[in-house]
A and B are shown apart, each in its own frame.
Chain A
Amino acid sequence: MNAGIRWWLPYACFAIAALAVPLLLSGNRYFAFVAGMTLISVLWATGMNLLYGYTGLMPMVFAGIAGISAYLTVGLVAAGWSFWPAMLVGSVVAALVGTVLGLPSLRLRGFYFTLCSLVIQTVITLAFVYFVNLTNGDTGISQIAPPKLPGGEALGGLAYDVVLAVLAVIGVVVLAVLVDSSFGRRLIAIREDEGLAEALGIDVTRQKLAAFFISSLFAGVGGAFYAPYVGFISPRSFDVLVSLNIWLMVAFGGRGTIWGPVLGATLLAPVPFLLQDYYTIKDVVYGLLIIGVIVLLPAGLVGGLKHLRPRPAPAAAAKAEPAQ
């Protein structure tokens, strides 16, 4: 009972914070919008964390998958669908596409898979540009109508922010539950040593594809809610730089921890908005952060803090290592 409360407490605090921020910022629409974008980033970073942090795969195609869901949702709404079923279809289709695009990970290891996914991301971006009658090409789709609530009222302002906060909280809790489950244990085993995982009876193919499906579902839901929230999508909204940004949030905060990517998204997502007047140095800041993370914090902020906490010194560690 007590342990149950202790397990839930951080998530309850996060839920309160996620809901409180849009409320507190509701006086200033711009800051509230930045908070909303940050919440979408939290959802995305949490989804990528399942693959990058827990399964050990670094997919650079994450934004492209979010884009597939965004374009599909917007297209279905334009075709007369209600937003909610369109969002579901868009997200599930994106998740299926993400699962198929995960197939190369069954053969390609580590960096080679990342390179492959980078190419796929580029192809998706080109497809968004190329299929003009579906995506309106480089011009993008603007004036996307906000979702309609069952009452017929448009979802907007504070209410939309609250929906995004709820999604971010659900995303984080879902990840936490998955990671604590036997599924999470199998993913971690695959991350640590794929061959050994298989020798212990883990169906590596199935677990990886399941991870791709769930992670892409996060991307898809985020993409579907992103489009009407911003009101505008274009191939640029889901290009390789966006994938890289989401990766940076996960890596900067601490991959393979629940709270690292949440922290990373909270710190990094607002940066482009707050630095809007300094457009030229924005990219420099990002570049420096990437280098800083790789050199100084290979395990990210939260991962780095974990290592600072002293581990209980094992008594037998003093014993000499056996001669090899």
Chain B
Amino acid sequence: MSLLEARQVSVRFGGLVALRNIDMCQNANETLGMIGPNGSGKTTFVNVVTGHVKPASGAVDFDGVPLARCRPFEIAGAGLSRTYQAVRVFRELTGRENIATALVNAACPLDADAVVEATEWLRLTHRLDARAGSLTLYEQRRLELLMRLVQRPKLLMLDEPVGGLSSVEVRSMIAVLNELKARCTIFIIEHTMKVIRELADRVIVLLAGEKIADGPPGDILADRRVIENYLGSVDA
């Protein structure tokens, strides 16, 4: 049985069709990527799955449970966690307080030793007492990951986790995310192929709200429709 399954999901904003009849599934321990140009509906898809946007039609199941009537906090509580395209931490609180906030709301949080270990793994130990808003963007991105990790999500949906990072940091983040695969199942949105190619086992391509391809990164890169519509025009 798949961990996440969406069937015929459509979203309309007024007259605009943001997503049209999207079918997808993701198995546990499979890293799934989603790419597409700006405005193709990637973030909207994550918003639907995490309960922030109600779809006009279609259904989403997570871990065998339908999510249709669930509110975002219930979905998070069920182990489906997300991050945001623009990094989002509690800026006025310290790193330690940010983590504590994530911990008090977790159904089965990491134990104290595991939190220390994860903090060290993300190289945030020495930054825990600084105000989160004073951290560098890359540190905030890692803090964001840590806040999800301590909640032990079954699935972590990352919305452009390398957005705004320098090229050195992007490489470092890719390494972090590769190690993250051992800790939880990842769904990752990117609008560049580079990150996806290195991380994903399978890729879904969105274009103007429609799924135009679904398969291993190698096949996707060879797909003519993808090349014409996307890779040829942006960067590959």
Contact = CB atoms under 8 A, between A and B. Distances in A.
A201 B105 contact: yes
Interface in B95-119: 97, 100-102, 104-107
Contacts of B129: 312, 314
B138 A322 contact: yes
Q: Which of A188, A201, A317, A324 is packed against the most chain B CB atoms within 10 Å? A: A201
Contacts of A185: 97, 100-101, 104
B104 A324 contact: no
Contacts of A319: 136
Given A200-B76, A315-B126, A316-B127, A322 B136 contact: yes
B127 A199 contact: no
A196 interface: yes
Interface residues of B, number: 38
A200 B147 contact: yes
Contacts of B136: 319, 321-322
Contact of B134 (A188, A198, A202, A317): A317
Q: Which of B105, B127, B129, B165 is packed against the most chain A CB atoms within 10 Å? A: B105
Given A182-B104, A201-B76, A203-B73, A317 B151 contact: no
Interface in B58-78: 71-73, 76-77
Contacts of A322: 136-138, 164-166, 169
Q: Which of A195, A202, A319, A324 is packed against the most chain B CB atoms within 10 Å? A: A202
Interface of B: 50, 71-73, 76-77, 81-82, 84, 88-93, 97, 100-102, 104-107, 126-127, 129-131, 134, 136-138, 147, 151, 164-166, 169
A199 B81 contact: yes
A315 B134 CA distance: 12
A283 interface: no
Given A192-B92, A321-B136, A322-B137, A199 B82 contact: yes
Contacts of A182: 104
Contacts of A195: 88
Given A201-B106, A314-B134, A192 B93 contact: yes
Contacts of B101: 185-186, 188-189, 197, 200
A199 B102 CA distance: 10
Q: Which of B130, B131, B169 is packed against the most chain A CB atoms within 10 Å? A: B130
Contacts of B93: 188, 192
Contacts of A312: 129
B76 A324 contact: no
10 contacts: A185-B97, A186-B105, A199-B72, A200-B101, A200-B151, A202-B73, A312-B129, A315-B126, A317-B130, A322-B164
Nearest to A313: B130
Contact of B88 (A186, A193, A315, A321): A193
Contacts of B134: 314, 317
